[in-house]
Structure 1
Amino acid sequence: MDPRHLEHGHGPRDIAKRLKRGPHVSYLRDWVYGGIDGTVTTFAVVAGVVGAELSTKALLILGAANLFADGFSMAAANFTGTRAEIEEYEKVRQMEERHVKLAPDGEREEIRQIFKAKGFTGSALESAVDVITSKRKRWIETMMTEEHGLPPITRSPGRAAIMTFLAFIACGSIPLLPFIAGVPASIWASTAMTGFTFFAIGSLRSYWSPAPWWRAGIETFLIGITAAAIAYAVGVLLAGLA
C-alpha cells in the first residue's frame, strides 16, 4: 500500500511516540451534534413563522429566543450525558477493584476466558493471564475494556458542552442572517444558506465516518430540509385556522 494513504507513520519511533502521547480525545461529534440541531431548530422556527405569515420582527424574536434557550438546553444535556458516562465508568471501575480484591481467582478466570475467546491457548494463554494480572491497574483496565466494553478515555463534560453550545449558536444563527440584514426575498436566501450549512456539517461528519463526504452531506441536508418543510406546513396550517 502506498505510504501516502496511511494516516500516520508505522516506523518504530513513530509508533513509540504515538503510543506515548496516548489516545486523542475528539470533540468533533459535539460540534456536529450542536451544529445540526442548531441549524434545524432555528430554520424550523423561520419556516414556521414565514408559513404563518408573521412579521419579520416576530421571526427575529422567536429565532433569537430559540437560538439561545435551545443552545443552552442542548449544552446542558450534553454536559449531563457526558458526566453520566464518566460516573458510569467510575462506578464499574470501583466494582472491578472490589471484585479483584475479594475474588481474585474468579477475576483471573474471567481474563483467561476472555483471551481464550481471542484465540490464545496453552502456555501463551497462561502467560497472557499472568502478565495482565501481575499489575492491578492493567488488570482492571483490561476488565473495563474487554468485559464491559467501556472506553479507556473519558471526555471533559465542560468542553463537550461548550463545543455543543458554540456550534449551536454559530450554525443556528445562519438562517436568521438574511432577515437581520434585510436581504430581499430573505426566506429564499435563508433557505439557500441553511441548505449549504446542512451539507457542510454533514460533510464534516464524514471525518470519523466511513461514508463519503458527499453522501454524509446529502443525508444531513435531506434531514434538515425535511424538518423545515414540516415546520413550514404546520405554520401554514395554523395560519389558516386563525
Structure 2
Amino acid sequence: MADERQVLEEHDEPHDQDFGERLNWLRAGVLGAGDGIVSTAGIVIGVAAATTERSTILTAGLAGLVAGAMSMAVGEYVSVSTQRDAEVALIAKETRELREEPEAELSELADLYAQKGLSEELAHEVAVQLTAHDALGAHLDAELGIDRNALTKPWHAAYASFVAFTVGALVPLVAILLVGVSARVPVTVVAVVLALLVTGSLSARLGGAPAGPALRRNVLGGVLAMAVTYGIGAAVGTQI
C-alpha cells in the first residue's frame, strides 16, 4: 500500500516541461487580478467615502484601471525580458565553452552528477552519454536549470498581467456603480472579498499549494486596503 501511495504521489508531481511556463502565466495572472481587485477597490471606496457623485467615482475607477493595467503589463514585460536576456546570455556562454573546452566541460558535468550522489564512474558514464545526446541541453539543465526550448516569454507575461488586472479591476468598479449610495460600500466589500476568495483558491489549486494561507493573505490584504482608503476618503470628504 505504501509503495502504491508513493507511485501515485510521484505520478501527481508536475514533471511536464511546460510546468515552468504555466507557473509563469499563473504568477502574472494571479498577481495582476489581485492587484486589479484590491487597488481599484481601494480607489473607488476611498472616493465613495468622500463624495456620492457617480461620475467622479467612475472617472477615478477607470483612471485607476487603465493606469494599473498598463503599469502591470510594462512591469511584467521589463522583468521577464531581463530574465530572458540573462538566460540567453548564459546559453551563449555555455555554447562557447562547449566549443572551446569540450573536455573540461565533460569533466565539469561529471563532477556535477557526482555531487548529486552518483559514483565517479557512473557520473562520468552519465556525462558521456548525455553529452553525446545533447551536450548543451545537459549542461544547461545540470548547471543552470534552464530549458532552452521553454524560455520565459515577456509578451505573454505582459498580456496576462494586463488582462488579469483589467478583469480584476472591473469587479469593484461594476459593484460600486450598480447599486444605490447607501449600499455602495458594503456591496463592494462583499464583491471584493468573494473575488479574492476565488483568485486565492485558483492560485492555490493550480499551484498545488494549500488553499488556506492564500485565502487568508488575499482577503486580509484586500480588507485592510479598503479600510485604509475608506478612512482617508472619509477624512478628506469631511474636510472638503
With structure 2 as the length reference, what TM-score do the two structures score?
0.84
**CA distance in structure 1 between the aligned counterparts of 2:218 and 2:12, rounded to whole angstroms:** 33
1:69-123: CA deviation from partner (whole Å, max 9, x where unpaired): 2102211221222222222111100011111122223222221211001111143
1:168-202: CA deviation from partner (whole Å, max 9, x where unpaired): 11111111113322345111111100111111111
**CA distance in structure 2 between the aligned counterparts of 1:29 and 1:91, rounded to whole angstroms:** 24
Which protein is richer in helix relative to its size? Answer: 2
User: Displacement, 1:29?
Assistant: 2.2
* One of 25, 31, 34 as aligned partner of 1:33: 31
The reply on whether 1:46 has 2:41 as its aligned counterpart is no
1:205-236: CA deviation from partner (whole Å, max 9, x where unpaired): 10244432243222211111112222223323
* One of 171, 175, 191 as aligned partner of 1:174: 171
User: Which position in structure 1 is the counterpart of 2:58?
Assistant: 60
User: Displacement, 1:157?
Assistant: 2.2
Name the stretch that deviates more: 150-159 or 220-229. 150-159
Unaligned runs of 5+ in 2: none
Name the stretch that deviates more: 26-35 or 53-62. 53-62
Tell me if structure 1 keeps the 8 A contact 2:40–2:64.
Answer: yes
User: Displacement, 1:129?
Assistant: 1.6
The reply on whether 1:189 has 2:184 as its aligned counterpart is no
Relative to structure 1, the CA distance from residue 186 to residue 240 in structure 2 (aligned partners, 3 Å threshold; closer, same or farther) is closer
What is the CA RMSD across the aligned residues, in angstroms?
2.7
**CA distance in structure 2 between the aligned counterparts of 1:237 and 1:99, rounded to whole angstroms:** 64
User: Displacement, 1:163?
Assistant: 1.7
User: Displacement, 1:60?
Assistant: 0.9
**CA distance in structure 2 between the aligned counterparts of 1:101 and 1:115, rounded to whole angstroms:** 21
Question: What does 1:9-158 correspond to in 2, within 5 Å?
Answer: 22-24=17-19, 25-26=21-22, 27-53=25-51, 55-135=53-133, 138-152=134-148, 153-158=150-155
Name the stretch that deviates more: 100-109 or 177-186. 177-186
Equivalent pairs, count: 231
Relative to structure 1, the CA distance from residue 145 to residue 231 in structure 2 (aligned partners, 3 Å threshold; closer, same or farther) is farther
**CA distance in structure 2 between the aligned counterparts of 1:214 and 1:200, rounded to whole angstroms:** 12
User: Displacement, 1:38?
Assistant: 0.3
1:5-46: CA deviation from partner (whole Å, max 9, x where unpaired): 669699xxxxxxx97xx5343122222111001001101101
**CA distance in structure 2 between the aligned counterparts of 1:230 and 1:210, rounded to whole angstroms:** 32
Identical counterparts, % of pairs: 23
User: Displacement, 1:133?
Assistant: 2.0
Aligned AA for 2:18?
P
User: Which position in structure 1 is the counterpart of 2:211?
Assistant: 213
The reply on whether 1:200 has 2:195 as its aligned counterpart is no
Tell me if structure 1 keeps the 8 A contact 2:200–2:214.
Answer: yes
User: Which position in structure 2 is the counterpart of 1:15?
Assistant: none
**CA distance in structure 1 between the aligned counterparts of 2:218 and 2:168, rounded to whole angstroms:** 14
Tell me if structure 1 keeps the 8 A contact 2:131–2:138.
Answer: no
**CA distance in structure 1 between the aligned counterparts of 2:124 and 2:70, rounded to whole angstroms:** 52
User: Which position in structure 1 is the counterpart of 2:234?
Assistant: 236
Unaligned runs of 5+ in 1: 11-17
User: Displacement, 1:240?
Assistant: 4.8
**CA distance in structure 1 between the aligned counterparts of 2:173 and 2:66, rounded to whole angstroms:** 13
**CA distance in structure 1 between the aligned counterparts of 2:56 and 2:187, rounded to whole angstroms:** 18
User: Displacement, 1:161?
Assistant: 1.7
